[in-house]
Structure 1
Amino acid sequence: MSTGWVKLHRKILEHELWNDVTTFRLFTLLVMRASHQDGFKMNGVVLNKGQYIRSYSKLCEDLAYKEGRGLKKLSKSTIMRSIKKLVTNNIITVSETELGTLFTIVKYESYQEFSSDHETEPRTEEEPIAERRRNESGTKSELYQELKNLRIKEEEEEKRASVENDLTPFQQIEEKYLSRKGGLMLTPKDSAAIERILKERIPLENILVWIDEVFDQYQPKHRADSIKSFAYLESAILDRWHAQLHQPQPLKNNVSEFKPKQHRQSNLDALAQYAKENGIKFGGG
């Protein structure tokens, strides 16, 4: 999907996305890489017109920007916030698959104003049909291999994944929670619960460990039972924090070590001793 061209309407200048650099770049990327035909099958996933499949890790690389002498990748949480904005504006829909996230541009044909499939990728009259077929076959093979390599690399990244340094505590908690719960975005209630937890000034390391602990220990009552909100975690985290703060302290040994008192000579005794040694009469004796 790296050949051909797409249309971009001037009305985009009037949309709020124009002022959001990351979200606009993401939208443009999805439009340019989306399938231009129905029924395109890649590794068991059938892509229809206006669909594209990609992992969040790969999108971070796709949208990297130049900083200094190198490229800086965006964080996953930044990508997810832009995706959330596109979903909220009914510009795209998303669904998770084993091969990555499937993005569907809601009004793809409207954006592109197709009159025929030929508009998506102009051909010349002189181009042989056999050459066209070879090109299309090669494109499919490249996409298939790209998806395969993508999944292999992402699995390796997940094994050694660590929290990115540029994420705020809120973003780190958000990413941990969504990765365990399975989802794309927080609800307003989830966000409020995270904010309340942060106000408790609980160490971030404890919060992240306890989120994993709560999910690992959760025992669903039936197949549809699951942790559905961060409020459940909020209560469990506060319980653990309260228990840690109020752990019974070990009893101190108040019995001091016995030390025999040394005999101290009184001032009077000292004077009497001095008088005796120097032949001085002392005490009227």
Structure 2
Amino acid sequence: MANPQLDNGFTRIANEILENIYSRKFTANQLIVILVIWRYTYGFQRKEHVFSLSFLAEVTGIDRKAVKRALDSLIEANVIIVVKEADFNNARCLAFNKNYDEWKIDHRGIKNTTVSKNDHTEEMTTVGKDDHTTVGDFDHTTVGKNDHHIKKIYKEKNKENIKEEDRIDHFQLIANKFIQRRAHGFDLSPEDELAIHRLLDDNIPIDTILKYIDEVFDEYEPKHRLDYIKSFKYVEKVILDRYFGQKGEEKNNGGTVHKHRRGVSRSAKEGSKSYEQILREAEAARRAWGWKG
């Protein structure tokens, strides 16, 4: 049974802001985007944060294109502020504009916007004939009806950055999960960030990483009030042990390698390597490539 408690975290929002939110005509998707931005800014006692479209779509369950339309319209209405534009390594840094006198939206919707005659989209933004407002996640320029050639060039030019965008999303999901479960401070140390990047290099599925983070914190038994998991390096090691241990079991299921209560034994085949030796060699390889442990 759900049992939410303020002791487990809360987001402080001034009543004056809430009153101006529900008294103006926001769409459902706009409200959801606002709530997520509140959660990851005010909810962590910070004024701004990096948000990618993939992350917003992931946490809200809303189609990526619909999230983009809602976010673009909120930026246009000056409800959401772009603190720093996106580049090919980082998504946009966004902040909520609490000065509601600057919002270009009232009880009728967004002010001073031109909507095409046949446009019936939920978000009332300035659109072209076919509602091609912007191209790509990181391109924020308005395009016209003959933009297909531009789209093709952009897609080819940035094909190699698709993986990098996923990496940014995954880094953000892992960092937010760790900060939330740690519940001590809202920032990551440089060592924490390096540990997360190393984990991403191991190509472990993001759902598996998030599940293991929850398991690590659920199973940790503090000895006193100052005993808690401080570094992501601790979590990193447990995740590696569990993931590659499980993979080893699956690979050798029904074979000659059997897991004992205290570890993994050697194969009956002479000269094979133990699981611990494989891990040591993997760590040595990472160090040889210049990755700091």
User: What is the TM-score normalised by the length of structure 1?
Assistant: 0.34
Higher relative contact order (CA 8 A, sep 6+): 1
| Higher alpha-carbon Rg | 1
